[in-house]
Amino acid sequence: MKINQLKLYAGIVLVFFLGVLVGSLGTRIYFKQRIEHFKKGGPLAKKDLLMEKLSDELDLTQSQQIEIGRIVEKSLGDLQEFRQKSRADLGKIIDHGAKTIKSKLNEDQKKIFGRMYEKLKNRQRGKRFFRH
């Protein structure tokens, strides 16, 4: 009889831990997909999320949703345009700084710095920092 109780408790604990594991994995997958959708969707996905939040929390009417949706869409477009311009300027500033540093180095240091800078640029290529 004690062995049966032990098996029962072990089974309950096992089911509990499996539930926790499956729940954790499911949550991770859900949020990963949601983040990827948000990244790939660009401004339209951001607009949809923002409008959903505004509509829910402010209880917007249909006409308010339309008007505010236009404002949000324009604002997101302006932000994207600003980011693109800023990104190009940021790359120019970084390049200028690297050239200025290089001008202060001897030939051996210039070679080493050049490799360091290229390595950094290659590592950051997937990120927006050096795109221009």
pLDDT in tens, 102-113: 898 899 998 998
Residue 72 counted as domain residue: no
pLDDT, averaged in runs of 10, over the chain (132 residues): 82 90 88 71 70 87 90 86 81 86 90 88 62 44
Report the pLDDT value the prediction gives residue 63, as an integer from 0 to 100.
92
Write down the pTM of the prediction.
0.46
Report the pLDDT value the prediction gives residue 42, as an integer from 0 to 100.
62
Distance separating alpha carbons of residues 44 and 62, to the nearest angstrom:
19
Q: Which two tokens stand for residue 98?
A: 């690297």
How many structural domains does the chain have? 1
Report the pLDDT value the prediction gives residue 67, as an integer from 0 to 100.
92
Residue 54 counted as domain residue: yes
Residue 101 counted as domain residue: no
Residue 12 counted as domain residue: yes
Residue 22 counted as domain residue: yes
Residue 127 counted as domain residue: no
